[in-house]
Protein backbone atom coordinates (compact mmCIF):
# COMPACT_ATOMS: atom_id res chain seq x y z
CA UNK A 1 0.00 0.00 0.00
CA UNK A 2 1.25 3.49 -0.82
CA UNK A 3 0.92 6.15 1.87
CA UNK A 4 1.43 9.91 1.47
CA UNK A 5 1.58 12.01 4.62
CA UNK A 6 -0.12 15.41 4.61
CA UNK A 7 2.28 18.16 3.53
CA UNK A 8 1.55 20.31 6.59
CA UNK A 9 3.32 17.89 8.93
CA UNK A 10 6.49 19.86 9.55
CA UNK A 11 8.38 17.62 11.96
CA UNK A 12 9.70 14.08 11.93
CA UNK A 13 7.73 13.26 15.07
CA UNK A 14 4.50 14.55 13.49
CA UNK A 15 5.04 12.37 10.41
CA UNK A 16 5.78 9.32 12.56
CA UNK A 17 2.68 9.96 14.70
CA UNK A 18 0.62 10.30 11.51
CA UNK A 19 1.99 6.96 10.26
CA UNK A 20 1.30 5.27 13.58
CA UNK A 21 -2.32 6.46 13.38
CA UNK A 22 -2.67 5.07 9.82
CA UNK A 23 -1.07 1.67 10.40
CA UNK A 24 -4.01 -0.05 12.13
CA UNK A 25 -6.23 0.52 9.07
CA UNK A 26 -3.43 -0.30 6.64
CA UNK A 27 -2.65 -3.57 8.43
CA UNK A 28 -6.36 -4.42 8.74
CA UNK A 29 -6.72 -4.02 4.97
CA UNK A 30 -4.42 -7.01 4.55
CA UNK A 31 -1.41 -5.06 3.31
CA UNK A 32 1.93 -6.57 4.22
CA UNK A 33 3.99 -3.61 2.97
CA UNK A 34 3.51 0.13 3.21
CA UNK A 35 5.61 2.34 0.93
CA UNK A 36 6.30 5.88 2.08
CA UNK A 37 7.63 8.63 -0.18
CA UNK A 38 11.12 9.92 -0.74
CA UNK A 39 12.27 12.00 2.23
CA UNK A 40 9.27 10.96 4.34
CA UNK A 41 11.36 11.32 7.48
CA UNK A 42 12.37 14.96 6.95
CA UNK A 43 9.89 16.32 4.45
CA UNK A 44 10.51 17.29 0.85
CA UNK A 45 11.89 20.58 -0.51
CA UNK A 46 13.28 21.71 2.84
CA UNK A 47 16.26 23.59 1.42
CA UNK A 48 19.15 24.14 3.81
CA UNK A 49 17.45 22.11 6.54
CA UNK A 50 18.33 18.96 4.67
CA UNK A 51 21.79 18.77 6.25
CA UNK A 52 20.44 19.10 9.80
CA UNK A 53 17.70 16.54 9.03
CA UNK A 54 20.12 13.89 7.82
CA UNK A 55 20.53 10.77 9.95
CA UNK A 56 23.04 8.02 10.30
CA UNK A 57 22.06 4.66 8.84
CA UNK A 58 20.04 2.84 11.46
CA UNK A 59 19.30 6.13 13.23
CA UNK A 60 16.26 7.44 15.07
CA UNK A 61 13.79 7.20 12.19
CA UNK A 62 14.85 3.70 11.16
CA UNK A 63 14.54 2.53 14.76
CA UNK A 64 11.09 4.10 15.12
CA UNK A 65 9.95 2.49 11.86
CA UNK A 66 11.29 -0.89 12.96
CA UNK A 67 9.22 -0.65 16.15
CA UNK A 68 6.09 0.29 14.19
CA UNK A 69 6.69 -2.51 11.69
CA UNK A 70 6.99 -5.03 14.50
CA UNK A 71 3.98 -3.64 16.37
CA UNK A 72 1.70 -3.84 13.32
CA UNK A 73 3.32 -6.88 11.63
CA UNK A 74 3.89 -4.96 8.41
CA UNK A 75 6.97 -4.08 6.38
CA UNK A 76 7.66 -0.35 5.95
CA UNK A 77 9.69 1.16 3.12
CA UNK A 78 10.75 4.74 3.85
CA UNK A 79 12.94 7.34 2.19
CA UNK A 80 15.26 9.50 4.30
CA UNK A 81 18.40 11.62 4.07
CA UNK A 82 21.36 9.55 5.21
CA UNK A 83 24.51 11.18 6.55
CA UNK A 84 27.90 9.51 6.25
CA UNK A 85 30.52 11.94 7.45
CA UNK A 86 30.12 15.06 5.30
CA UNK A 87 28.27 13.19 2.54
CA UNK A 88 24.50 13.05 2.21
CA UNK A 89 22.55 10.33 0.42
CA UNK A 90 18.97 9.94 -0.73
CA UNK A 91 18.45 6.60 1.01
CA UNK A 92 15.67 4.18 1.75
CA UNK A 93 15.13 1.55 4.37
pLDDT of 44 above 80:
no
Own/partner long-range contacts of 22-26 (Cβ < 8 Å, ≥24 apart): 23/68, 23/71, 23/72, 23/74, 24/72, 26/1, 26/72, 26/74
Q: Is 86 part of a structural domain of the chain?
A: yes
Count of structural domains within the chain: 1
Q: Is 4 part of a structural domain of the chain?
A: no
Angstrom distance (rounded) from CA 62 to CA 76:
10
pLDDT of 51 above 90:
no
pTM for this one?
A: 0.86
pLDDT band at 20 (very low <50, low <70, confident <90, very high): very high
Q: Is 50 part of a structural domain of the chain?
A: yes
Question: Which pLDDT score is estimated for 32?
Answer: 94
Q: Is 76 part of a structural domain of the chain?
A: yes
Give the rounded percent of residues in the chain with a pLDDT score beyond 90: 55
Across all residues in the chain, what is the average pLDDT? 89
pLDDT of 18 above 80:
yes
Domain residues for the domain of 19 are 12-92
Question: Which pLDDT score is estimated for 19?
Answer: 95
Amino acid sequence: MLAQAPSDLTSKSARLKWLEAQLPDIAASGADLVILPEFFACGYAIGNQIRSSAELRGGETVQALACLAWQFSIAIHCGYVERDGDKLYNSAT
